[in-house]
């Protein structure tokens, strides 16, 4: 077993580019998609075509900008309309004394959100004005704000186990997703070494040597596992300890999940190896299949986005779904061994089945 393991290591030592590329790829993809995941503040141009436009702007601009989700900037009417017409800006608002009109070139997806917000500001202001009566509006506004700071009914939110509700960080989900996804490539391409050896004739040479079949497979598969696991571990270590991402307080459990995941991916790659005849076929089929897995497993989407029963069932067939579930539970909800036992067992089960069928198919194909 060890000579086989060492020979694979020697090959990668000479040509480490692929492993490095996938490792850097995991980090780069996470950084790129995590940063783009933060929704940028939407800027909306506001103007008024009324005769008392400056008065209107003075009134509404500070009220609209009390929320940080949107940035309302004062513009002159002509510029605002031209910007929308020429696509430099998606939206502008023509403000009136007690009303507003949207100026937009097409039905942008954020329009309902902006409309909802602006409407809320206008309704609140109308209510305050109605309630003001003889008192000053500012007085009423201050009263309402101080009242809201200490309301008669308060809602307290707790997590299921009584603690604080964790913030769900989509960035961390993507970090896990991309790391596990890229590891699938590294592991798969290493497992493909079995096919390469078979085609080149090295496999037959090994059969004739005193190395047992078990030793031959173990050498190859253990190496694929180690490379895949080390890749995942390195990425997680970099994000946890160098980039200071909060991956929860049980890093060790994350590493165990990564190890079991790597093991199950080795088996999955072995299963695909069983269906193809040459390394070239593997290189064609594996990279075509693998990118579909995170999509079905909902890796790139917030939890609960995929609700189709068939898709959920298919997702359950892949180790990625279970690894993501376990990692997210550990990182966000600080769950322990008992809570993540099920996804771990499912990954092991998938691993055992795929390995059994895969090796069987490879052995049957010897002619």
Partner 1 sequence: MIETIKLSKTYKGKKAVDEINIYLDEGESVGLLGPNGAGKSTTISMISSLLKPTSGDVKLDGKSTIKNPAEIRKVLGVVPQEIALYEELSAYENLKFFGEIYKVKKNVLEQRIQDVLDMVGLKERQKELVKTFSGGMKRRVNIAAALLHNPKILVLDEPTVGIDPQSRNHILETVRKLNEENGTTVLYTSHYMEEVEQLCKRVYIMDHGKVVASGSKAELLSILSSEDTIRVNLSETSDELIKKIKSLEYIRLVDETSEGIRIICKKGANILGDLVRAAESERIQLTNYQMETPSLEDVFLHLTGRTLRD
Residues that bind partner 1 (CB under 8 A): 2-4, 6-7, 10-11, 14-15, 200-202, 204-211, 367
Q: How far is the CB of 14 from partner 1 (least distance, A)?
A: 6
- How far is the CA of 101 from the CAs of 45, 115, 247, in angstroms? 12, 10, 46
Q: Are 232 and 262 in contact (CB under 8 A)?
A: yes
Q: How far is the CB of 9 from partner 1 (least distance, A)?
A: 11
Please give the torsion angle defined by the CA atoms of residues 106, 33, 228 and 328, in that order, rounded to the nearest 10 degrees: -90
**Closer residue to partner 1 (CB): 88 or 213:** 213
Q: How far is the CB of 363 from partner 1 (least distance, A)?
A: 13
Q: How far is the CB of 212 from partner 1 (least distance, A)?
A: 10
Q: In what order do the strands lie in the sheet with 42-47?
A: 70-74, 42-47, 91-95, 100-104
Task: List residues bridging with 42 in a β-sheet.
Answer: 70
Question: Terminal CA-to-CA distance of the chain, rounded, Å?
Answer: 24
**Closer residue to partner 1 (CB): 151 or 201:** 201
**Closer residue to partner 1 (CB): 87 or 201:** 201
**Closer residue to partner 1 (CB): 135 or 204:** 204
Q: How far is the CB of 196 from partner 1 (least distance, A)?
A: 9
**Closer residue to partner 1 (CB): 14 or 66:** 14
Q: How far is the CB of 254 from partner 1 (least distance, A)?
A: 34
**Closer residue to partner 1 (CB): 37 or 209:** 209
- How far is the CA of 290 from the CAs of 49, 172, 333, in angstroms? 56, 21, 28
Could you tell me how many residues make up the chain?
367
**Closer residue to partner 1 (CB): 8 or 297:** 8
**Closer residue to partner 1 (CB): 2 or 168:** 2
Q: How far is the CB of 366 from partner 1 (least distance, A)?
A: 8
- Closest by CA to 323, choosing from 212, 173, 189, 202, is 173
Rg (CA), the chain: 29
Please give the torsion angle defined by the CA atoms of residues 334, 295, 172 and 71, in that order, rounded to the nearest 10 degrees: -130
Where does residue 87 fall: left (phi above 0), alpha (psi -120 to 50 degrees), or beta otherwise?
Answer: left
Phi, psi for residue 138 in degrees, rounded to 5: -60, -35
Q: How far is the CB of 278 from partner 1 (least distance, A)?
A: 13
State which H helix or E strand residue 104 sits in. strand 100-104
**Closer residue to partner 1 (CB): 202 or 353:** 202
- d(Cα 120, Cα 98) in Å, to the nearest integer? 12
- d(Cα 282, Cα 286) in Å, to the nearest integer? 6
State which H helix or E strand residue 103 sits in. strand 100-104
Q: How far is the CB of 206 from partner 1 (least distance, A)?
A: 6
* Residue in the structure block whose two tokens are 């002619």: 367
């Amino acid at each position: 077993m060890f000579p086989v393991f060492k020979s694979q290591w020697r090959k990668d030592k000479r040509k480490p580019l692929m492993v490095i590329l996938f490792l850097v790829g995991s980090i780069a993809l996470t950084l790129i998609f995590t940063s783009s995941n933060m929704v940028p503040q939407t800027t909306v141009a506001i103007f008024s075509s009324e005769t008392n436009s400056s008065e209107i702007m003075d009134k509404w601009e500070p009220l609209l900008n009390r929320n940080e989700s949107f940035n309302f900037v004062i513009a002159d009417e002509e510029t605002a309309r031209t910007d929308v017409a020429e696509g430099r800006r998606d939206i502008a608002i023509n403000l009136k004394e007690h009303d507003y009109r949207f100026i937009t070139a097409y039905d942008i997806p954020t329009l309902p959100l902006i409309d909802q917000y602006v409407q809320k500001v206008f309704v609140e202001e109308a209510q305050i004005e109605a309630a003001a009566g003889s008192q000053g509006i500012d007085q009423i506004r201050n009263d309402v704000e101080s009242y809201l700071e200490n309301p008669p009914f308060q809602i307290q939110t707790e997590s299921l186990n009584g603690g604080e509700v964790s913030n769900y960080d989509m960035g961390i989900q993507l970090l896990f997703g991309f790391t596990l996804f890229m590891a699938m490539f590294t592991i798969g391409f290493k497992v493909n070494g079995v096919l390469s050896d078979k085609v080149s004739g090295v496999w037959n040479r090994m059969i004739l040597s005193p190395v047992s079949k078990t030793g031959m497979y173990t050498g190859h598969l253990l190496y694929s596992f180690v490379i895949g696991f080390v890749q995942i571990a390195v990425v997680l270590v970099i994000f946890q300890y160098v980039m200071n991402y909060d991956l929860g307080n049980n890093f060790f459990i994350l590493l165990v999940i990564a190890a079991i995941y790597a093991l199950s991916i080795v088996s999955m790659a072995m299963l695909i190896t069983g269906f193809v005849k040459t390394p070239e076929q593997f290189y064609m089929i594996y990279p075509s299949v693998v990118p579909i897995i995170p999509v079905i497993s909902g890796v790139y989407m917030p939890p609960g986005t995929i609700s189709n029963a068939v898709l959920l069932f298919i997702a359950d067939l892949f180790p990625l779904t279970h690894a993501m579930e376990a990692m997210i539970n550990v990182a966000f909800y600080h769950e322990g061994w008992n809570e993540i036992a099920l996804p771990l067992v499912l990954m092991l089960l998938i691993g055992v089945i795929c390995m059994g069928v895969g090796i069987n198919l490879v052995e049957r194909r010897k002619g």
